[in-house]
Every structure is written in C-alpha cells, then in structure tokens.
Structure 1
Amino acid sequence: MSKKIDVVVIGGGYAGVMAANRLTQRDDVAVTVINPRSAFVPRLRLHQLVGGTHDAVVDYTEVLAEGVRLVVDSVTRIDAAGRSVTLAEGGTVGYDYLVYAVGSGSAGSRVPGVDEFAYPIATLEAAQRLRSVLYDTPTTAAVTVVGGGPTGIETAAELAEQGRAVTLVCGGVVGPYLHPRARRTARKYLAKLGITVLEGPDAAVTAVTRDAVELGDGRTLASRVTIWATGFGVPDLAVTSGLSTDATGRLRTDETLTSVDDERIVAAGDSAAPSDLPFRMSAYAAGCLGAHAADTVLNRIAGERPAPIDLSFPAMCISFGRGAGIFQLGHKDDTAMPLYFSGLAGKKLKEFSCAASVEHLVNEARKPGSHHWPKDGKHRPQLLREQRGGAPVAAEPAV
C-alpha cells in the first residue's frame, strides 16, 4: 500500500475547516487539523455569547468531514526545513503540505490600562470571561464599548437590549464600512436602544482605568466594565518560526496563497497576506480563502499550476440586538453601495449569513469541492498593478 500524502492544517476556524474538508477530495491525502479547542467557534456569534443569546460553539462532528483527524493542541513552532510542527503538549507532527490558518484574536494596544482593565471579545475564552463578569455586574452599572466596527456595534446592541447603560466610543466614525445612508440608519437603531454614541477624534480613548475611560478631549467616563473591540491581531507563530510576514504578522504569500519561503506551506484566512495586500478579516473571506488554499495544495499534488486568488465581497451585515439589522450591499471591490436592507429584513439576512457561514462548512464536508464564491477578475489585478507601479501581475513568484 502506498503512503498517503500528509496535509496538516493549523487552525480549526472557518478557513481551516473549509480547507480540511475540501482536501478530502483525494483518497490519497490524509488530513490532520490541529486546533487548541475541541469545538468549532462560529466567531460571528461571540457578541451573542456575551449577551446570552447563543453559546457560540458547534461540535466538530457537525462541520468537519469524516476521516479528518482532529488534534486538540497548539502549535508552538513550524520547522519548514524538517516539514514538521511542534505541539505545546509535546511531540511533533510531520507533514508533506501545511495549511497555515491560525486565524486572529485581539489586537494589541498601546493605550495605558487596556491590558489590565479592559475586556477583549475576539476569542471564545475572552467572550466567556466577559459574559461571566457581566453576570456579576448590576444591570444599572455603566458599560463602555470601545470600537465602532461590527464587533463593537453588535456587542453594544446586545447589552443595551438587556437594559444595560451602554456607551459606544469610537475615535473615528461608527460603522465606517457602511454607506452614509446606512450609517444614519445605524445611529437611529443605536439611539433607539438607548446607547450613547461618542465618535470622532475627540472621543479617542487615551487611557482605561478600573472604573473609567479617559478620552482625547479630557473627558472621563465612568465605566464599571470596559469592552475593547477595536480590531484583530494575528498570532506570532509565523514570526517565531522564521517565516516571512507582513508588519502585522500575517504570513506573506504569493497570489496562490503559497508562502514566499516554501511552496509546501499555504496560508488561508485572517493570517494570510497575499502580495502584502491582505483581504479584510471576515468569516466570509476566511471560508473562501480556505477553499482556495486547499485548491492550491491539490493543484501542487497533481503537478498542476495553482491559480491566483479571485474574490469579491458582495455584502456586509450588522445586527442591532435581536430585533433589527443592516445588510449592506457592496461593490465587488469591497466598498458599500447606496443600497441596503434594514429592520426586520436586515435582521433576517444577517441571521441567514451567520447560519450560512457554518452551513458552507457542512456542505463542503458532505461534498468536498462544492464550495463556490463570487469572483471579480478585475479589482484584485488592478490593486496589484497599482502596488507594483504598473508591472505585469504574476500568479507565482519567479523560481
């Protein structure tokens, strides 16, 4: 019996699970997923976990293809030369190909007091901790949510719907992706929920203390619980393993998602930086990039030339508690259209999107190779031409 081709996937999020499922198209490929948790975390639900309306976990037996091996552990180092990864609990796992899908977590902050007194929400453990803290905090206590993106907005809305006194603070504009018309609707929903919104440069947070938040214009807000939702950062595994990364630590790849250092390593999801032009961090992008990463690996196994990534962004959605939502339609270049759905229609479309993000994984597990995504063919090449000063775009680096 011939030896199977071993593919190790680091990370069991949207990108890692999609890649692992898609790789099962070949009977001669053995797929191992290494993930620190024993359950899949649909991160689109973490704000609901904080608000107590969803547990934000799904059993891997529901989303991972039969035959994929799951190792519950963390990878501490990648040995590209030896084609193996070192596990936190001891031992190593060898590979023929590696899919780097470590995802993202809370971004670091230089604002004094954030690490000591603010609560992040980017991971399951962080959201569970925050939920526990809020459970022990009176409903009348002041809560401050820092961050005007989807995570900040959705978390503020979930808590305000419970009757909590919530202030949403943002140093820029709330809902920066939204079309101005949709942004006005978002502010109306936040006001209806009783949320105080402070936005603009004067509202930039300069310090966090145990019971307060200090702003750029000198104001001090009383805050019993301060929630930090200002963005995402990536793990430093690639950096500490000596692989090439961008300034934020994403693994640098070509347009096929292949590492610029090693064609046996392919990246997907939030931790990938193709051509130093990473896609917006999102569950949608992660699933599509996971599928493309798997295709790249399968192409290489078959001795075929991998294709460059092609991905467009049709929409972005935000929930405002359980009663309303905004489903913002977008151009293929990931900019907002004037058209959006709001209210009950927006809520239903948002819920559909959350459910679909998991259903795509389930479908790929049952029928590997079936996942398809919207493509553009124009926007990405144009960005690359601008980045390279008009030089021709190559699918892969010269070897």
Structure 2
Amino acid sequence: MNKNIDVVVIGGGYAGVMAANRLTQRDDVTVTVINPREAFVPRLRLHQLVGGTHDAVVDYRDVLAEGVRLVVGSVTRIDAAGRNVTLTDGSTIGYDYLVYAVGSAAAGPQVPGAEFVYPVATLEAAQQLRSELFDTPSTAAVTVVGGGPTGIETAAELAEQGRAVTLVCGGVLGPYLHPKARRTARKYLAALGATIIEGTDAKVTAVARDAVELGDGRTLASAVTIWTAGFGVPDLAGRSGLSTDAAGRLLTDETLTSVDDERIVAAGDSSAPSDLPFRMSAYTAYCLGAHAADTLLHRIAGEQPSPIDLAFPAMCLSFGREAGIYQLGHKDETAMRLYFGGFAGKKLKEFACEAGIKHLATEAHKPGSHHWFKDGKYRPQLLQTQRDNAAAPVA
C-alpha cells in the first residue's frame, strides 16, 4: 500500500492556491493550505476596497479544490530537518513537501514620521485606511506616495470620488509604461483632479500627522498619507535558517526548489529563483505556483523537474471606474508602444482581475489545466549574464 504524501502550502494567495489546486492531480497527495485569513484576498482589488467599490474578498470555496484542507493561522517557523511547521498557537503540522508562498506586503517607509502613514498592501491595511477616510472630510488633502500601479490606482480611485489627491511619485509616473501610455496616464489622473509630482528631488523625506515634506524643500498639507512605495516580504524563511536573497525572498534554483532543501519549493513574490526574481504581479504569482506544483509532482514521481519558463506579457491599470490602460510588453519586460486606453483599457483591466480568479477556480476543478506565456530566450540570457558577471575578475 502506497504511503500518503503530505504537502503543506504556506500562504493562500494567488501562488499558494494555484499550487495547492494543481497538486490534487495525484490521489495519494494530501494538501494543507495555511493562511492567516479564512477568505481569499484578490490584491488587485485592494485599491477598490479603499475607494469603497469592492470588498476585495472571495470565498475559498470558489477558488480552492474541494479536497484541500484550509488551516487558518500563521506559521512562525519552518523546521526543515524535522519536516514540520510551527503555528502561532504552538501547534505543529508535519509535511513531506512544502510550498513556500507567503507573498509580500508594503515596506515600511524609512523616513521620520512613518507612524503617520497608511499602507494598502494587505486586506487589514486597506480596511483600516478605508475607515480612516470615512472619518476624514472629503475636502481634506490626501497624499499618495509611490508612482507604481498601487499608487496610481489608489490615487485615481480616491480622486474620482472628488477627494483632493496628490500623487508623489518619487521618480517617474508608472515606470513600466511606455512614454505614450505614461502621457495618457497623466491625462487620466489630471481629468480626475489629481495632482502629480514627479522627479527624484520630490521624494518624501518626512511625514507628519497633517503634512509631508519633500526633498526639494516643499511641505504639502496631508490629512491622510497613503504609502505604496516599495515592498517587503515576511522574514519566515530567514528566521527558519533557509537561504534568502537580500530582500528576504527564499532562494531557489530554476525549478523553484530551495537551494537548501529539495523538499521545499517557493512561488510568488516571496521566491527568488537564481537570485533573479520575476516581476511581482498576480499573473506571475499563479504561474509560479503552477510550476512549483509541477516541480513537486515530478519529484514525487521520481522524474527530473524542469526549469521555469515564464514571460510577463502585459501590465494593466485602472483609473477609477471609467478608464484604464492595458500596456503590452516585450518578452524582455520592456513596454511596447502598443497599449489600450479608455473604455477598452478599463474592460481589459477588469477582464484581467476576473481572469485571475477564474484561472484558480478552473484549476480547482481541472487540476493541471493552467498554461502560461513562455519565452525560452530572455531569461536564459539573464542567467548567462549573471554567470559571466560572477566569473569576471574584480578590478
């Protein structure tokens, strides 16, 4: 009689749920997902939660395979040698294989007055911000720090409601966007009434309860300051004695297997294959989750896992509820001149948000069905450049 194989998935986001669902292809594999919340959080919707146009939660029964066990809790330590994880309540859960998919959150600002900022990157943070805005007059000044997707979408969502929003980019607006699309993004934000401050000299250097200070000497009134710049990952891997990159992501090889333990794989924002992490996005996360599951399934079957092959095809942004930008990209992750704006961009953005949930739900019912865009050229070139740089003599 074959022994049942226990797989524990730490994290119930896009990567963790996709990996868990895909692992149910084998009847002798029992999958347990450990997640701090009892509902799935589509992070693509958190800016809408802040604006009050979406609750940003999905029932796990809609996205998680029926045979997968969900444990609501947080892991405090991974014992790789003993093959078990410890939860905050002191209980332990054993495993034969582990999927590390703990995700990411906003990095705390390294400026004076950090206690006065509101992040958006988690459900709880977005709910707290929503509550704070509810108690803040609609005419009060709101500052959003960070010119990336989260900052842009949060600023647009609030500006559309008539709030006095200033978006401080600390650089250029939408760094991934093609210059043509960036001009369109500025136009959309301006039409909503948002003020945009760009340039490296205009970074936020300090935050007060009612103001922010910029590097160029300006002080902006700010009743609510929202921080979307930067990211951070949980330090669980490092605390557990596993190798990580400088940001704390679990170091893996190209099959997504931990460099320390072949029974541990990583996926999503918390993974660093070959110390060359993929671009952070929901799409990337669930594709990496699928590949991590495939790696374990190959290993369980006594087969050699394959290296990851993944291309990042596009980025989409919403500008309130009436406009969007769908930016197409080359396989080297640079933006094309081609993008869709306005109503078409809005519809494509909404399609992308819904598609992420649909992919998880489909995998729950038909494990092994998810496929993704592949490249086969760009990443091998990056890896070769990395090896050449490592071998080059130090001057």
Question: Which TM-score band (shorter chain)?
Answer: over 0.9
Q: Aligned ranges for residues 111-126 of structure 1 at < 5 Å?
A: 111-114=111-114, 116-126=115-125
Q: What's 1:395 paired with?
A: none
Shift of the 381–390 alpha-carbon distance from structure 1 to 2, 3 Å rule, reads farther
Quote how far apart the aligned CAs of 1:108 are: 2.6
Quote how far apart the aligned CAs of 1:321 are: 0.1
Higher mean alpha-carbon deviation, 344-353 vs 228-237, is at: 228-237
Code of the residue aligned with 1:69 in structure 2: it is R
Question: Secondary structure at the residue paired with 2:118?
Answer: strand
Q: Distance in 2 between matches of 1:139 and 1:87?
A: 42
Q: What's 2:269 paired with?
A: 270
Is the 8 Å Cα contact of residues 314 and 329 (structure 1) preserved in structure 2? yes
Quote how far apart the aligned CAs of 1:363 are: 0.3
Give the structure-1-normalised TM-score. 0.97
Q: Aligned ranges for residues 21-170 of structure 1 at < 5 Å?
A: 21-114=21-114, 116-170=115-169
Q: Distance in 1 between matches of 2:102 and 2:332?
A: 25
Quote how far apart the aligned CAs of 1:391 are: 9.3
Q: Distance in 1 between matches of 2:201 and 2:218?
A: 9
Quote how far apart the aligned CAs of 1:390 are: 8.0
Is the 8 Å Cα contact of residues 167 and 194 (structure 2) preserved in structure 1? yes
Q: Distance in 1 between matches of 2:87 and 2:185?
A: 45
Q: Distance in 2 between matches of 1:2 and 1:340?
A: 53
Q: Distance in 2 between matches of 1:390 and 1:145?
A: 38
Q: What's 2:351 paired with?
A: 352
Aligned length: 391
Is the 8 Å Cα contact of residues 385 and 391 (structure 1) preserved in structure 2? no
Question: Secondary structure at the residue paired with 1:109?
Answer: coil
Q: Distance in 2 between matches of 1:196 and 1:391?
A: 44
Deviations 1:56-91 (A, max 9, x none): 000000000011000000000000000000011221
Q: What's 1:397 paired with?
A: none
In the alignment, is residue 340 of structure 1 matched against residue 335 of structure 2? no
Q: Distance in 2 between matches of 1:333 and 1:83?
A: 38
Q: Distance in 2 between matches of 1:301 and 1:333?
A: 33
Question: Secondary structure at the residue paired with 1:106?
Answer: coil
Aligned residues with identical type, % of pairs: 82
- Structure 2 stretches lacking a partner, 5+ long: none
Deviations 1:260-290 (A, max 9, x none): 0000000000000000000011101000000
Q: What's 1:388 paired with?
A: 387
Q: Distance in 2 between matches of 1:390 and 1:87?
A: 41
Deviations 1:165-192 (A, max 9, x none): 0000011100000000000000000100
Question: Secondary structure at the residue paired with 2:388?
Answer: coil
- Structure 1 stretches lacking a partner, 5+ long: 393-399
Higher mean alpha-carbon deviation, 330-339 vs 73-82, is at: 330-339
Q: Distance in 1 between matches of 2:91 and 2:241?
A: 20
Q: What's 1:188 paired with?
A: 187
Runs of 4+, deviation exceeding 4 Å: none
Question: Secondary structure at the residue paired with 1:296?
Answer: helix
Quote how far apart the aligned CAs of 1:109 are: 2.3
Cα RMSD (Å) = 1.0
Q: Distance in 2 between matches of 1:137 and 1:156?
A: 16
Question: Secondary structure at the residue paired with 1:234?
Answer: coil
Q: Distance in 1 between matches of 2:291 and 2:136?
A: 45
Quote how far apart the aligned CAs of 1:314 are: 1.0
Is the 8 Å Cα contact of residues 109 and 227 (structure 2) preserved in structure 1? no
Code of the residue aligned with 1:112 in structure 2: it is P
In the alignment, is residue 12 of structure 1 matched against residue 7 of structure 2? no
Code of the residue aligned with 1:78 in structure 2: it is I
Higher mean alpha-carbon deviation, 89-98 vs 1-10, is at: 1-10
Q: Distance in 2 between matches of 1:81 and 1:313?
A: 35
Deviations 1:89-138 (A, max 9, x none): 22100000000000001113211112x10000000000000000000000
Code of the residue aligned with 2:261 in structure 1: it is D
Code of the residue aligned with 2:33 in structure 1: it is V
Is the 8 Å Cα contact of residues 251 and 259 (structure 2) preserved in structure 1? yes
Q: Distance in 1 between matches of 2:297 and 2:22?
A: 9
Code of the residue aligned with 1:294 in structure 2: it is A
Q: Aligned ranges for residues 181-260 of structure 1 at < 5 Å?
A: 181-260=180-259
Deviations 1:266-325 (A, max 9, x none): 000000000000001110100000000000000000000000000001110000000000
Q: Distance in 1 between matches of 2:208 and 2:303?
A: 56
